[in-house]
């Protein structure tokens, strides 16, 4: 099984688009992204300085546009079109993943991420905040230190790598008194992303996204907040908005990939960060970073070797699926009962927490595909629903 992942803010580097513009199809997609966003992303991605592309309002649409422009060059259309792979993105990279999964059009993803970047930049400017990587140290000790200083674990990337976020003075105090065995490294970002300091951005983005078009994902799309498989387009959009002010749990995304049986992971450009995390947390998984067009031949070979054929277990709109691995507990609903979209079908109990399973659409319960106490995998169908026909006007 193949996972295709997209990096988040901080991965951008000056001149990163230059070699990709030599591919006519990529250049065409990037020109369209410029038109959609109203930002000269090509100029910024080729000659923009490190400071210019560090700007949140620039970095976020630039990263998503790059991922969406390059992805088709991997010949990996079957990942999104036939539900045969896993798609995920770190922070803003989740917008690229959602578009590749078919939950958003590329244009919708680019417009939303343009607004997201603008709003998060405004929120960051309101209060002097920042982020620091905490590398190493005991997990509990790091958590206690963050709590002591009033900081938030904005990104939990893997064991031994947490990103603390909050007021600059609190970050300085953490650095001066780092937990035993840990190093604190300041990150070159504009604010405390994925924390309550971004609440104003979340509220404003929710207003903008209220009428945004969406569809149910055609592939296994993982959510940043809990690493769960997201099968509803409405839930995808809701999560994209709420993650602005909530922590990124990339560690849980990698755990879900492991639970699903991912055998290879390809990171879209500007690649390297997520591959590094995968190599530490997902032993035995082939991890490959697409950095330049020279990497495409090898990436295509990995796609051909690891992409699955469609299976009967691929989630569809007629199925209620488990978001994470664990033990299934059904709701007291009988076959023949009608469920409304959003109704709880059951829960999955895991060592992470208890995750709910919702009906994606209105439907009549035809049969249970899992029973009380059964172990379930992420994305595994637990119930089959028959659509409720629309009433016919006479």
Boundary (domain end) residue, out of 271, 306, 341: 306
pLDDT at 76: 62
Domain assignment of residue 159, yes or no = yes
Average pLDDT over residues 137-146: 94
Domain assignment of residue 340, yes or no = yes
| 228 and 369 belong to one structural domain | no
| Total domains present in the chain | 3
| 46 and 101 belong to one structural domain | yes
CA distances from 94 to 60, 142, 237, 286 (A): 11, 27, 11, 21
* Position 384 pLDDT exceeds 60: yes
Higher pLDDT, 314 or 113: 113
Average pLDDT over residues 6-34: 96
| 149 and 16 belong to one structural domain | no
pLDDT at 389: 59
- Residues 6 or more apart whose CB falls under 8 angstroms from that of 77 comprise none
pLDDT at 175: 94
Supply φ then ψ for residue 200, to 5 degrees. Answer: -65, -35
SS3 readout for 128-164: CEEEEEEEECCHHHHHHHHHHCCCEEEEEEECCEEEE
d(CA 362, CA 341): 5
Domain assignment of residue 282, yes or no = yes
| 295 and 215 belong to one structural domain | yes
Task: Give the domain range for residue 175.
Answer: 128-186
The CATH number given to whatever domain includes residue 254 is 3.40.366.10
- The pLDDT tens digits of the residues spanning 253-303 come to 999 999 999 999 999 999 999 999 999 999 999 999 999 999 999 999 999
d(CA 323, CA 355): 7
Query: 327 near 352, Cβ under 8 Å?
Result: no
| 178 and 235 belong to one structural domain | no
* Position 218 pLDDT exceeds 70: yes
Catalytic sites, residue numbers:
91, 194
- The pLDDT tens digits of the residues spanning 200-216 come to 999 999 999 999 999 99
pLDDT at 83: 45
Region of poorest pLDDT, from 136-140, 233-237, 309-313, 336-340: 309-313
* Position 352 pLDDT exceeds 80: no
The CATH number given to whatever domain includes residue 157 is 3.30.70.250
Task: Specify the length of the chain in residues.
Answer: 394
| 10 and 104 belong to one structural domain | yes
What burial class does residue 393 get, using C-beta atoms within 10 Å of its C-beta: 0-12 exposed, 13-18 middle, 19+ buried? exposed
Domain assignment of residue 17, yes or no = yes
CA dihedral 145, 241, 379, 349 (to 10 degrees): 40
Domain assignment of residue 239, yes or no = yes
Query: 10 near 276, Cβ under 8 Å?
Result: no
- Dihedral sign, Cα of residue 195, residue 118, residue 226, residue 358: positive
Instruction: Place 353 in a pLDDT band, splitting at 50, 70 and 90.
Output: confident
pLDDT at 63: 98
Domain assignment of residue 287, yes or no = yes
| 32 and 104 belong to one structural domain | yes
| 287 and 163 belong to one structural domain | no
Boundary (domain end) residue, out of 251, 282, 306: 306
| 261 and 377 belong to one structural domain | no
**Confidence (pTM):** 0.88
- The pLDDT tens digits of the residues spanning 150-203 come to 999 999 999 889 999 999 999 999 999 999 999 999 988 889 999 999 999 999
Domain assignment of residue 191, yes or no = no
pLDDT at 75: 77
Domain assignment of residue 314, yes or no = no
Boundary (domain end) residue, out of 306, 331, 366: 306
pLDDT at 176: 94
| 211 and 325 belong to one structural domain | no
| 209 and 110 belong to one structural domain | yes
| 167 and 269 belong to one structural domain | no
Average pLDDT over residues 134-144: 94
């Amino acid at each position: 099984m193949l996972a295709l992942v997209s990096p988040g803010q901080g991965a951008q580097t000056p001149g990163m688009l230059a070699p990709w513009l030599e591919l006519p199809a990529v250049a065409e997609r990037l020109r369209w992204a410029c038109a959609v966003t109203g930002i000269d992303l090509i100029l910024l991605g080729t000659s923009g300085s490190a400071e210019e592309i560090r700007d949140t309002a620039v970095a976020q649409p630039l990263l998503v546009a790059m991922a969406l422009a390059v992805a088709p060059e991997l010949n990996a259309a079957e990942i999104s079109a036939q539900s045969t792979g896993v798609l995920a993105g770190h922070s803003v990279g989740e917008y690229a993943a959602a578009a590749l999964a078919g939950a958003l059009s590329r244009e919708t993803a680019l417009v939303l991420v343009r607004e997201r970047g603008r709003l998060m930049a405004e929120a960051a400017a309101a209060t002097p905040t920042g982020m620091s990587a905490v590398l190493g140290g005991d997990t509990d000790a790091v958590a206690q230190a963050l709590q002591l200083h009033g900081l938030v674990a904005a990104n939990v990337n893997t064991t031994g790598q947490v990103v603390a976020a909050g007021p600059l003075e609190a970050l300085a105090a953490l650095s001066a008194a780092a937990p035993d065995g840990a190093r604190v490294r300041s990150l070159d970002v504009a604010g405390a992303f994925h924390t309550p300091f971004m609440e104003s951005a979340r509220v404003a983005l929710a207003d903008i996204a209220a009428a945004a078009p969406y569809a149910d994902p055609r592939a296994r799309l993982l959510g940043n907040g809990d690493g769960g498989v997201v099968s509803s387009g409405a839930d995808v959009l809701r999560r994209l908005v709420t993650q602005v002010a909530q922590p990124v749990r990339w560690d849980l995304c990698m755990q879900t990939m492991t639970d699903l049986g991912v055998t290879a992971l390809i990171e879209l450009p500007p690649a390297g960060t997520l591959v590094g995390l995968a190599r530490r947390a997902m032993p035995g998984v082939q991890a490959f970073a697409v950095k330049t067009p020279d990497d495409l031949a090898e990436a295509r070979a990995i796609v051909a070797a690891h992409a699955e054929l469609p299976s009967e277990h691929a989630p569809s709109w007629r199925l209620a699926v488990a978001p994470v691995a664990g033990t299934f507990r059904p709701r007291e609903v009988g076959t023949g009962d009608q469920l409304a979209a959003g109704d709880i079908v059951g829960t999955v109990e895991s060592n992470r927490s208890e995750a709910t399973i919702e009906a994606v659409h209105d439907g009549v319960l035809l049969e249970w595909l899992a029973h009380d106490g059964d172990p379930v995998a992420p994305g595994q169908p637990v119930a089959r629903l028959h659509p409720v026909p629309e009433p016919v006007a006479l």
